Amino acid sequence: MTSMFLERGLLEEAAVLLARTAEVWAPVDEPGLDAPSFGRPGEGLPLAIGPRLPLLPLKTLFLPRVEELFRFAGGAEGPVVVAADVPERERVVLGALACDIRSLELLDRVLLAEPADERYRQRRERTTLLALACTGESPACFCTSLNIDPLRPSGADGLLSPTGEGWLVEALTGKGRDLFERLEPLLRPATAAEIEAAGALASISRAAVSLDPPPGGWDRVWELATWEETATRCIACGICTVLCPTCHCFDVQDEKRGSGGARFRVWDTCMSQQFTQMAHGMNPRPLHFSRVRQRFLHKLVYFAERYGAIACVGCGRCARRCPNATGIDEIAARLRADLEEDGNA
């Protein structure tokens, strides 16, 4: 198949063309924000297709921050459910990066496990992911340490590789081929030089980070004094859970409007004391450090044991945005060191 090329100046036009048949989402730059956010191209904000991580991860498009589950209305015998599942339009995401795409594959393991979350499943099935080959933003990210290839993300339907004055485009799945057929009027065959340049793309060197257990395993990690020691600087703001592409915990609440209302789900955080606080007073994680421990062990140990992978994609958002600059990489290193020291004692 001939390799095709999309010229930089045609990007906005490509987004408009795709928007005729689908809801298009892409990183856009909002005034005053230091990072792009996922938005709708063509609504006045400039596209930010590049290796800059959006502030909020891709999960926002699949497990929205607030989502109505159903509405209810007052009836003679009390409120009754009047609306439930709302089908979603077909969607295209332009310019997603490998770390965020990998996070969807991890979220799938939770949300598509039987009984599957129907709303999430519909969004996944109806979304075509067009990835941008990521040449790296900052040394704070470490996707390569988690076996993610930032230049050829697995899980994407199509790939844009930046080269020269645009992008070499490549379909990776049937969904991706359909998408490029729609873009055909804007594509031209790539030149040999462009193909060669795309093949020679290199990602900036990234931090080598290990989230793996020490040789003796994580067995005694729960008991370590490390938790009490490291938790002292955490202010329990929960921003790490908001920004983490793999954090998926949600709360379910009702909102009354007159005699009716709605039940919705909303992102929640395990850093909150309320998260596990039961109505009759008992709380299995009553102490701050026990909640810090839960967050990191969920990523490093519990998720790995249950779903077969560490729940981290190396995006570095937690470390960069934490008020106290605590990242999962630093915690894992400290735990490994303390376990080894403990073992040698």
Partner 1 sequence: MPSGLMTPEPAVIRAVREVTPDTLLFQVDVERPAGAAPFDYLPGQFAELSVLGVGECPISITSTPTRPGLVEFAVREAGDVTRALHDLVAGDRLGLRGPLGNGFPLPALEGRSILFIAGGIGLAPLRGLINFVLDRRERFGAVDIVYGARSPELLCFDWEFETWAAAPDTALHLTVDAAAPGWDGEVGFVPAMVRRLGLEPADRVAVACGPPIMIKYVLDDLAAAGYGSDDVITTLELKMKCGVGKCGRCNIGPRYVCLDGPVFTLSQLERLPREY
Smallest distance from partner 1 to CB 209, Å: 23
**Spatial contact of 6 and 171, defined as CB atoms under 8 Å apart:** no
**Spatial contact of 28 and 15, defined as CB atoms under 8 Å apart:** no
Question: How far is 200 from 235, CA to CA, in rounded Å?
Answer: 44
| Distance (Å) of CA 49 to CA 77, 123, 304, 325 | 53, 22, 32, 27
Smallest distance from partner 1 to CB 301, Å: 7
C-alpha closest to that of 152 among 114, 189, 198: 198
- Interface residue with partner 1, options 276, 309, 321, 334 (CB under 8 A): 276
Question: How far is 322 from 244, CA to CA, in rounded Å?
Answer: 11
Interaction between residue 111 and partner 1 (CB under 8 A): yes
Smallest distance from partner 1 to CB 231, Å: 15
- Interface residue with partner 1, options 265, 299, 317, 336 (CB under 8 A): 265
Phi/psi for 23 (5° steps) reads -85, 120
Where does this chain touch partner 1 (CB under 8 A) — which range of 44-52, 93-101, 224-232, 303-311? 303-311
Smallest distance from partner 1 to CB 261, Å: 5
Judged by beta carbon, residue 110 or residue 237, the one nearer partner 1 is 110
Smallest distance from partner 1 to CB 119, Å: 8
Interaction between residue 289 and partner 1 (CB under 8 A): no
Where does this chain touch partner 1 (CB under 8 A) — which range of 18-26, 153-161, 191-199, 282-290? 282-290
Q: Using CB under 8 A, which residues numbered 114 to 153 contact partner 1?
A: 115-118
Q: Which residues in this chain contact partner 1 in the complex, by CB under 8 A?
A: 69-70, 72, 77-81, 84-85, 110-111, 113, 115-118, 222, 248-254, 256, 260-261, 263, 265, 268, 270, 275-280, 282, 284-285, 290, 294, 297-298, 301-303, 305-306
